[in-house]
Amino acid sequence: MNSGKTVTIIGAGIAGLSAAVFLTEKGFKVTLIESSPKAGGRAYSFYDNERKMFFDNGQHILAGWYENTFEYLRLTDSLNYVNFQRSLEVNFINKKKEIFKLKCTEDKPPMNLVMGLLKYKALNIVDKIYLKKITALSDGNAEKFRKYKNARELLKGLKQTKNLITYFWEPLILATFNTSPENVSPELFVNVMKTGFSESGNSNLVIPSADLNKLLTDNAMKYFTEKNVTFKTSEKVVSIDITDRVNFVTLESGEKINSDIYISAVPFFSFRKLFDERVYSENNFKAEKMKASGIISVHIFLKEDMPDEMIPENSLGMTGLIGTTVQWIFIRNRRHLSLVISGADGAGLNEETPERIFEICKRDLNETIRNFEKAEIEGYKVIKEKRATFIPDRDSENYRPQQKTKYENLFIAGDWTDTGLPATIESAVKSSKIISNIIIN
């Protein structure tokens, strides 16, 4: 069990944190190095002096199929900071202010989804006739969908109607892949559908009940203290010295760190800088070719409590909007709504001013939420994350490296590595799990 071997992990996002925990559990002596002053990477909370409260950098939703993430949460004693749905349940509101509930049944997948969609009142009889075609997705055989260029073409090939696409596929794809269906590789799409609808409970949504620091990092810090993990913050790795194996890494301060094993857990947009030209091209790394996709979160604060008739029906405080720029509303409390705009670059909003983004949100809420125009808004906060995820188009599959490299002591972790999943917390943690399994075995 106690291998006594030393491991250096570069980057303390959720991939680096989970790699540190999984390997510490197996008796490795871990040093984790993070360039910023804190852990968490692209999933963190920060204190806002103006509003005197913590904000997450963006609402994070997990799902029942995040098995590796749940293992990390269990090991860091944080599993009690998430709420699980009993079955997938989401309400949607359109611009006619009509509310439609999509609720999967407790049947065996994929029938749970088919039955849920059959009862979904946003769909008409013709839509429902074409529903049965989606069972073709659930065997996960991506090969037969290779002829399609992207998920939108695949859905067309399966004769999915406009209504089905508007009221089901587009919200699902935007939420999962953070981009629209034409930017999603059909193979990745089929893999996610298979994962989500292969076992009971997999498609259920899981929503954090605490802020992201509490959920992902605070308890990990306690764990590191207890288990003697060395965690260096504000220390950037500037290079990895490689001959036929990794010899050491160099920090910006000039310090050299030496260990038996090294794991890069930096995002795709920082990876190129770790290597010299020779190593990068010899390994055919292509991280710099990946395209980023943004997410914008907008918090709206009301002067008075929302009246009951204004609160959209919801499960776990979450409601989807149809036909608007804002896709999701999360009700934090009766005076605080948090809104999500996924694929913000696609919506052309990455470079917009907070004032303009707020106006768009207000317009969307007026158009969808009953009596919203009567509510007095006391303030708002816009949080932009321009590089939240990568665009998972077909090209991206050629740029995602495997976790194992040709050097026996170098591994690559991160949501963008080849996990068969889109850029998610689960992809990040899965990459670490793959690495820890390889190292242990």
Ligand X SMILES: Cc1cc2nc3c(=O)[nH]c(=O)nc-3n(C[C@H](O)[C@H](O)[C@H](O)COP(=O)(O)OP(=O)(O)OC[C@H]3O[C@@H](n4cnc5c(N)ncnc54)[C@H](O)[C@@H]3O)c2cc1C
Binding site for ligand X (CB under 6 A): 10-16, 33-36, 41-43, 57-58, 60-61, 236-237, 265-267, 270, 295, 385, 388-389, 414-415, 423-426, 428
Amino acid (1-letter code) at residue 197:
F
- When the beta carbons of 152 and 387 are compared against ligand X, the nearer one is 387
Strand order, beta sheet including 256-257: 237-242, 246-251, 256-257
List of residues 6+ apart from 353 with CB closer than 8 A: none
* Separation CA 128–CA 385 (nearest Å): 37
Least Cβ distance, residue 271 to ligand X (angstroms): 8
Locate tokens 């990040």: which residue? 428
In the complex, minimum distance from the CB of residue 73 to ligand X, in angstroms, rounded to a whole number:
13
- For residue 297 the two structure tokens come to 């979160």
Shortest CB 328 distance to ligand X, Å: 10
230 burial class (0-12, 13-18, 19+ CB within 10 angstroms)? middle
Q: Which of 263, 169, 189, 205 is nearest to 85 (CA)?
A: 205
Shortest reach from residue 177's CB to ligand X, in Å = 11
Minimum CB separation of residue 215 from ligand X in Å reads 11
Q: Least distance (Å) from ligand X to the CB of residue 117? A: 23
Distance CA 347, CA 318 (A): 21
In angstroms, the CA 422 to CA 364 distance is: 28
Please say whether the beta carbons of 330 and 287 come within 8 A.
no
Terminal-residue alpha carbon distance, the chain: 11
